[in-house]
Structure 1
Amino acid sequence: MLNNFQAIVFDMDGLLLDSETIALATFVEACKECGYDLHDMEPYYKCIGTNWPKATQTLISGYGKDFPFDAISEVWGKKYHDETLTKPVPVKEGALQLLDYLEREGMRKVVVTSSRKENSVIKLTNAGLLNYFEFILGGNQIENGKPHPEMYLTAAEMLNVKPDKCLAIEDSDNGVLSAYNAGMTVIQVPDINQPSDKVKALGHTIMSSLTDIERLLKQDS
């Protein structure tokens, strides 16, 4: 299967790095510290995979006028950055093995993430993963974040590879929609939230781990 592609485009948070669990835990802590009764997680789940402006809009509209966003985002941001920028974030199961396999095969690899590029470089450096990738495209470098296809279209342009010759690997629904609408083949490895029925209807491949993806790519290659 690997022979069908010229490049593989990876998401970062929740796929390569176990950072989405940290984001969720610190969000819950921030809400508690700010005295907000977090009764519904659905608005939070909807913002997974999006950039900060889109996440802000989703949280405010989802939780309503009584949601103290400014106070919570300040506490949340500090907690999250303390946990993800000052110490290594755990690497997801199978990530190193998959990257090593792709390295041996000479496959081009890049990261497309909704996180800011500078923060992403720190995270990947601390995790020992940065040197695997040709470039990092961050959410602050484009106009329209996921689920808009701009990020993946931009990555394909930077690679000088047609989108249909790229394999995108994502964990979130927003990321899947972005890559799918850019014309890429997509494999999803769900993290803290399972794919919606709408996303399942796309007919893309859904797998339980990066280890499973490595096995799949080795078939017929």
Structure 2
Amino acid sequence: MNNFKAVLFDLDGTLIDSEHFYFSNWAPILSEDYGLTINFEDWISHFAGHTLAHNVAMLNRDFKLKVDEEDMWFATRSRYAKADMRTIRLMPHAQELLEVVKSKELTIGLVTSSYKTTVDTVLGEHKLLDYFSFFVTRESVENPKPHPEPYLLAHKNLELAKADILVVEDTSTGCTAAKEAGLFCAAVSKQAVERERLNHADVLTTNLKELENILFSAS
């Protein structure tokens, strides 16, 4: 498992600890504008790892709300700006793992459903942008995760055999995209509800340090 030539990282919940940030900004909107109260476990169960379009559709379908996607886009972006995404912390051991991968001269890519502005803001704040050879963001594809298109595009950019590529994800949505693209996927999550949905991952760990020990310590 340690002969990879490239590593593709997800962003939210994998490299950056953003789920509490998104939850803290969505929850007031849902409560104040739509009368729906959610807790963090609800966020992880229903929202985490999905696009805004998916979450709006889910709210309308499963919670019988009448949420307009454009309205929600403006409402969330307004709150994100006020909350300042630059305050989002890295996940534990994220920079150390990037250093290990870089030291082994592996190509590093980012494959995320977030927009490039989010990538630039958060990873730029932590001075991590230079670790990545390329970025596949929401603007890059027509079909975001769980569709395999983001990872198929990343594979095309790499010009490597699929067996040479490792994907690091934290949600079932991302893992599904990777596996549907024919790639090896290591999932990292300490959330019990998410771990139950990650039985299709090739490797499942609770944190990035554990992943480093499994995949790279002997390479």
Asked whether the two chains share a fold, i.e. TM above 0.5, the reply is: yes
Q: Give how far 1:169 is off.
A: 0.4
Q: Give how far 1:39 is off.
A: 5.6
* Aligned equivalent of 2:79: 79
Q: Give how far 1:102 is off.
A: 1.0
* Aligned equivalent of 1:23: 22
After superposing the two structures, state which structure 1 stretch, 138-147 or 183-192, moved more.
Answer: 183-192
Whole-angstrom distance in 1 between the partners of 2:191 and 2:70: 25
* Aligned equivalent of 2:159: 160
Query: Which runs of 5 or more structure 2 residues have no equivalent in the other structure?
Result: none
* Aligned equivalent of 1:123: 122
Whole-angstrom distance in 2 between the partners of 1:18 and 1:83: 14
Whole-angstrom distance in 2 between the partners of 1:7 and 1:101: 12
After superposing the two structures, state which structure 1 stretch, 14-23 or 158-167, moved more.
Answer: 158-167
Match of 2:208 among 202, 210, 213: 210
Whole-angstrom distance in 2 between the partners of 1:157 and 1:142: 13
Whole-angstrom distance in 1 between the partners of 2:103 and 2:195: 35
Letter of the structure 1 residue corresponding to residue 45 of structure 2: Y
* Aligned positions of 1:25-64 closer than 5 A: 25-34=24-33, 36-38=35-37, 42=42, 45-64=45-64
* Aligned equivalent of 2:177: 178
Q: How many residues align?
A: 218
Q: Give how far 1:46 is off.
A: 3.2
Moved over 4 A (4+): 39-44, 66-73
Conservation of the 8 A alpha-carbon contact between 2:113 and 2:145: yes
SS at match of 1:211: helix
After superposing the two structures, state which structure 1 stretch, 76-85 or 118-127, moved more.
Answer: 76-85
Letter of the structure 2 residue corresponding to residue 76 of structure 1: T
Matched, 1:142 2:141: yes
Query: Which runs of 5 or more structure 1 residues have no equivalent in the other structure?
Result: none
Q: Give how far 1:126 is off.
A: 1.1
Conservation of the 8 A alpha-carbon contact between 1:93 and 1:209: yes
CA 1:131–1:189: 2 relative to 1, 3 Å: same
Whole-angstrom distance in 2 between the partners of 1:84 and 1:116: 15
TM value normalised by structure 1:
0.87
SS at match of 1:194: helix
Q: Give how far 1:71 is off.
A: 5.3
Q: Deviations over 1:39-82 (max 9, x none)?
A: 68658733422333333322322221355766555433321233
* Aligned equivalent of 1:102: 101
Q: Give how far 1:115 is off.
A: 0.6
Whole-angstrom distance in 2 between the partners of 1:162 and 1:181: 15
Letter of the structure 2 residue corresponding to residue 53 of structure 1: A
SS at match of 2:145: coil
Conservation of the 8 A alpha-carbon contact between 1:146 and 1:175: yes
* Aligned equivalent of 1:188: 187
Conservation of the 8 A alpha-carbon contact between 1:43 and 1:59: no
CA RMSD of aligned residues (A): 2.4
Matched, 1:89 2:88: yes
